[in-house]
Amino acid sequence: MLSSVLNSPRAIQVNIAIMRAFVKMRESAMAHKDLLVQLNAMEKKYDSQFQVVFTAIKKLMEPLPVKPKKRIGFRAPQG
């Protein structure tokens, strides 16, 4: 957020890099979705002999679980 408010050349370059990163993330998510559609089509086409392979590929495509972040700082006592 700060890089979009500041007007220095470095802040502008950081802002551009951030936007490019988000574009890449969106492109990879769309490619991921297309890959899943193709994988499902292949799964229907081939017999159950390859089911283990398809299951392994799908498991690799799942996003990693997000760990909940611990709150830091002072917490006032309740009551």
pLDDT at residue 12 is higher than 60: yes
pLDDT at residue 1 is higher than 60: no
Residue 55: per-residue pLDDT: 79
Q: What is the pLDDT of residues 25-68, one digit of tens each?
A: 777 777 777 777 887 788 777 777 777 777 777 777 777 777 88
Q: Which two tokens stand for residue 51?
A: 């089911």
**Closest to 62 measured CA to CA, from 32, 38, 24:** 32
Check: CB of residue 35 under 8 Å from CB of residue 26: no
Q: What residue spans define the domains of the chain? A: 2-61
